[in-house]
A and B are shown apart, each in its own frame.
Chain A
Amino acid sequence: MSTASVPLPAWINYGLIPLLNLILAFLFSGLVVWAIGESPFEALQLLLIGALGRGEGIGFTLFYTTSFIFTGLSVAVAIHAGLFNIGSEGQAYLGGLGAALVALAMDHYVPWYVTMPFAVIGAALFGAACAAIPAWLQAKRGSHIVITTIMFNFIVSSLMNYMLVRLLIVPGKMAPETRTFLPGGQLPKLDWLIAMFGGKIGAAPLNFSFLIALIMCFLVWVLIWRTKLGYEMRTLGISPTAASYAGIRYSRIVMITMLISGGLAGMMALNPVMGASARLQIEFVGGAGFVGIAVSLMGRNHPAGIILSALLFGILYQGGAELSFDMPGITRDMIVVIQGMVILFAGALEYMLRPSIVRLYQQLTGK
């Protein structure tokens, strides 16, 4: 019989099963590492120490985590309304333009905490604008949101190339990037946060946007589970026919959801653009939008789960970078393979173990 409908306690659903999936992913990654002649245990040790061993490593890990929280939330909000937003990458990229324009306009005149709220709004508005056209096409014309958001990733990429190479580039420079923002356009480092735990942040770019990300997690939780809008989004996401019966307007919810989703993706830009490099650079998103899909799925589309899975991917990014530095046999591509394993086991194969766990659980509880 199908075991998918058998209810399991939350600690199995949200604790044990993801943990077992993760262990499987590491097991298979270990086999790959072993196959190329390196020690899997040493590799795992290096990865963990690189990500969590020192204050600086933790700073980098949380920096990546911040980006993944934003894009993960972006994907999750859309999924709750039954929309698969593959465009977080492009929305974040365009969000960078919004943040950068605010920073360039204000950094001469005001301190960072005055610039920040405007930058948050700017990034969100530009991200939302990028999602608006696919949303409208889905709501009014039935063009599939997956296709249109993918296409917009390319459109935004070309647009940003043009902007950076032709308009925003510093005259006389070769690099396609804006000028460096003054402190009034930068987000401060969270050195005190790392210092609280006795570490030193060093060169790590962990910055104030980490706190913005956590606030957004809370706001998204309120939105989805405590507001009438969230109720309508979830109704539409689970049952479009029930939504139409309840008088929930499809096009309205699709538009609002995608604008929020795009806005959250756009805010991701605050982290690298205003927090780390203090300028708008080409291809600064670097795949974080796509990682957001895995983060959201693995985090069960819940903000708390997203924080945890974003942290996991942060560890993989930072630890992986250290690992490929320390172990010459393991290249950057190997790290991508390991990340792929995590996505495969935690995302695509997430229900692989479930039937046997259900049976075991039923035997143990004697039901």
Chain B
Amino acid sequence: MSLDSPKEPAIELVGIDKKFGTVHANKNINLTVAKGSIHGIIGENGAGKSTLMSILYGFYHADHGEIRISGKPVTIRDSQAAIAAGIGMVHQHFMLVENFTVLENVMLGAEGGQLLAKGVASARKELKRLEDDYGLEVDPDAVIEELPVGSQQRVEILKALYRGADILILDEPTGVLTPPEADHLFKVLRVLRDQGKTIILITHKLREIMAITDTVSVMRRGEMVATRKTAETTVEELAELMVGRRVLLRVEKGAANPGAVLMSVRNLTVKDSRGVTMVDDVSFDVRAGEIVGIAGVAGNGQSELLEAIAGIRKPSSGEILIHGKSVAGVDPAGLRDLGLAHIPEDRHHMGLVLKFEEYENSVLGYHRDAKYGRGPLLDLEAMRKDAEEKIGKYDIRPPNPRLRTANFSGGNQQKIVVAREIERDPKMLIIGQPTRGVDIGAIEFIHKRIIEMRDAGKAVLLVSVELDEIRSLSDRILVMFAGKIVGEKSGEAGEQTLGLMMAGIAA
């Protein structure tokens, strides 16, 4: 693992080993991160990236192994100790107090004394210096919830720098950003690196690794399988290292053969629980045998649109037509009977009951079907047999219908949902984030199933924040911004064009 690097190492992990019960999350990990570099760590979900970073940040303790910072062995007992050692972490889900200002958030936990006034004054000065040094412009008096996501992330970075971090860990930082915002983040990261900070970037997006990192380490099944200089590797090589076999990065699909309109949305407006308009006068059709993709940055109304079509959220005006008939007031159970299947965005809270055993989840929403039990009773035998068939067909691992759903990996959990919805042989399929938190091998599998559904003449509506996914699957792409459909493009539309539309800049 020794790459001849002229710079001295900022972090060395030596022989880190961690087990959770029977799961060997980190196996004898050795990693050296050079000072003043951007070091990417990639791997599928469950490869052990997050565990490794959590050990470095003091959330977990390694069973064996040593951490050295600037050559000195350290014990990191908790996040306080990590901060003291100069490590800062920017979490995937921001740890900000939404109704505090930027300044208050940055100070939080480092107020310096019982009375605020003095601390506020010095924090303001320090914040100004950090902003100037690193080009991280944010208004210190802006309230967090009023800031765009990209700025919130900059506040997270400022927070870490304010606490004196020399080493920054970013966990999937671009998941919530538009392409322009991501570009801005990368610019900031380069400035930080050039000023001598060390950056560890955890991601599963190969493109980001290629765009920004100096060095990249690949993890697979708890092991560090390779470290490469980014300039000397390729996307294909990294993908193969991650999965352990060759993978198709681009889905193969033939031309679409669209038929009759199965599902229509007319002037649909949906408000969220606070009364804010999330979907604003949206209309479109989905035909049999085509995949319509909805692109957009998370939070621009796609979730509410999907929930409205699925019958979970009541629209405030407009209508949804299935086979030309309005389905106003029809609940999700009724919509299932009309042939609408729904793979929800959030499998943890919506698509699955994590505490249930696998076979119980494989009937969720269809549990009233006669084949799962006559009258009021459930036929557990029939349910388990049915689950076993799906497990075989979708290669769900471990193949145990009695296992708690929470104990399956993200990819296998998603397969449970996909198997349940597709095997019902619906006429229409609405899908939210089909591969969020799913490993590459499973992504390939799920994408193939979606294409098969299209080729079998089903109407498919796909929502994803992964632009690559939308582009590789969709026959038509609708771009959503601030609750409106701002444009329609063919499946071949360029990333640049779509990116600008997603940011609300061009139509």
- Interface flags for A209-251 (1: CB within 8 Å of B; 0: not) read 0000000000000000011111110110011011011111100
A367 is an interface residue with CB less than 8 A from chain B: yes
Which one of B20, B22, B61, B334 lies within 8 Å of A247 (CB-CB)?
A: B334
Q: Would you call B350 and A245 a contact (CB within 8 A)?
A: yes
B336 is an interface residue with CB less than 8 A from chain A: yes
Number of interface residues of B (CB under 8 A): 41
Q: Would you call B407 and A247 a contact (CB within 8 A)?
A: no
User: Complex: how many Å from CA A241 to CA B364?
Assistant: 12
- A37-57 contacts to B, CB under 8 A, are none
A174 is an interface residue with CB less than 8 A from chain B: no
- Closest Cβ of chain B to A9, distance in Å, is 12
Q: Would you call A235 and B407 a contact (CB within 8 A)?
A: no
Which one of A226, A229, A234 lies within 8 Å of B380 (CB-CB)?
A: A226
Using A6-B20, A247-B334 as known contacts, say yes or no to A227 and B376 having CB atoms under 8 A apart: yes
A143 is an interface residue with CB less than 8 A from chain B: no
Q: Which residues from A are CB-within-8-Å of B373?
A: 228
- Spot the interface stretch: B141-149, B180-188, B351-359, B384-392: B351-359
Q: Would you call B353 and A239 a contact (CB within 8 A)?
A: yes
Using A7-B21, A246-B364 as known contacts, say yes or no to A239 and B349 having CB atoms under 8 A apart: yes
- Interface flags for B246-272 (1: CB within 8 Å of A; 0: not) read 000000000000000000000000000
Using A226-B377, A367-B21 as known contacts, say yes or no to A249 and B331 having CB atoms under 8 A apart: yes
Chain B residue nearest in CB terms to A242: B353
- Interface flags for A333-367 (1: CB within 8 Å of B; 0: not) read 00000000000000000000000000000100001
Using A7-B407, A242-B349, A247-B311 as known contacts, say yes or no to A229 and B376 having CB atoms under 8 A apart: yes
Q: Would you call A232 and B367 a contact (CB within 8 A)?
A: yes
B177 is an interface residue with CB less than 8 A from chain A: no
Q: Which residues from B are CB-within-8-Å of A229?
A: 376
The residue among A226, A242, A244, A367 with the most chain B CB atoms within 10 A of its own CB is A242
Q: Would you call A1 and B61 a contact (CB within 8 A)?
A: yes
- Closest Cβ of chain B to A297, distance in Å, is 17
Q: Which residues from B are CB-within-8-Å of A241?
A: 346, 349-350
Interface of A (DSSP majority class): helix
B190 is an interface residue with CB less than 8 A from chain A: no
Using A6-B21, A245-B332 as known contacts, say yes or no to A228 and B368 having CB atoms under 8 A apart: yes
Q: Which residues from B are CB-within-8-Å of A367?
A: 19, 21-22
- Closest Cβ of chain B to A75, distance in Å, is 19
- Closest Cβ of chain B to A356, distance in Å, is 16
Which one of B61, B350, B380, B404 lies within 8 Å of A242 (CB-CB)?
A: B350
B108 is an interface residue with CB less than 8 A from chain A: no
- B317-357 contacts to A, CB under 8 A, are 331-336, 342, 344, 346, 349-356
Q: Which residues from A are CB-within-8-Å of B406?
A: 5
User: Complex: how many Å from CA A32 to CA B144?
Assistant: 53
Q: Would you call A246 and B22 a contact (CB within 8 A)?
A: no
Number of interface residues of A (CB under 8 A): 25
B378 is an interface residue with CB less than 8 A from chain A: yes
B59 is an interface residue with CB less than 8 A from chain A: yes
- Interface flags for B202-233 (1: CB within 8 Å of A; 0: not) read 00000000000000000000000000000000
Q: Would you call A362 and B21 a contact (CB within 8 A)?
A: yes
Q: Would you call A235 and B353 a contact (CB within 8 A)?
A: yes
Q: Which residues from B are CB-within-8-Å of A245?
A: 310, 312, 332, 342, 344, 350-351, 364-365
Q: Would you call B378 and A231 a contact (CB within 8 A)?
A: yes
Q: Would you call B377 and A242 a contact (CB within 8 A)?
A: no
Q: Which residues from B are CB-within-8-Å of A242?
A: 349-353, 364
Q: Which residues from B are CB-within-8-Å of A226?
A: 377-378, 380
Q: Which residues from A are CB-within-8-Å of B100?
A: none
Q: Which residues from B are CB-within-8-Å of A248?
A: 333
B360 is an interface residue with CB less than 8 A from chain A: yes
The residue among A227, A246, A249 with the most chain B CB atoms within 10 A of its own CB is A246
Q: Would you call A227 and B378 a contact (CB within 8 A)?
A: yes
Using A7-B407, A242-B350, A367-B19 as known contacts, say yes or no to A1 and B60 having CB atoms under 8 A apart: yes
Chain B residue nearest in CB terms to A231: B367
Q: Would you call B312 and A244 a contact (CB within 8 A)?
A: yes
- Closest Cβ of chain B to A145, distance in Å, is 20
- Closest Cβ of chain B to A4, distance in Å, is 12
User: Complex: how many Å from CA A242 to CA B348?
Assistant: 9
Q: Which residues from A are CB-within-8-Å of B404?
A: 7
User: Complex: how many Å from CA A249 to CA B312?
Assistant: 10
Chain A residue nearest in CB terms to B342: A245
Q: Which residues from B are CB-within-8-Å of A249?
A: 331
Q: Which residues from A are CB-within-8-Å of B364?
A: 235, 242, 245-246
User: Complex: how many Å from CA A249 to CA B311?
Assistant: 12
Q: Which residues from A are CB-within-8-Å of B378?
A: 226-228, 230-231
User: Complex: how many Å from CA A239 to CA B351?
Assistant: 10
Chain B residue nearest in CB terms to A248: B333
- Interface flags for A92-113 (1: CB within 8 Å of B; 0: not) read 0000000000000000000000
- Closest Cβ of chain A to B5, distance in Å, is 33
- Closest Cβ of chain A to B107, distance in Å, is 29
Q: Please name 22 pairs of A and B residues whose Cβ atoms are closer than 8 Å in the assembled complex, sorted by A.
A: A1-B61, A5-B406, A7-B21, A7-B404, A226-B377, A227-B376, A228-B367, A229-B376, A230-B378, A231-B360, A231-B367, A234-B353, A235-B356, A238-B354, A241-B346, A244-B312, A244-B350, A246-B333, A247-B332, A248-B333, A362-B21, A367-B19
The 9 closest A-B pairs by CB, nearest first: A247-B333, A247-B332, A246-B365, A245-B350, A241-B349, A1-B60, A239-B353, A227-B376, A241-B350
Given contacts A226-B377, A235-B364, A246-B367, 10 further A-B contacts (CB under 8 A): A7-B21, A227-B378, A228-B368, A230-B378, A242-B351, A244-B350, A245-B332, A247-B311, A247-B333, A367-B21
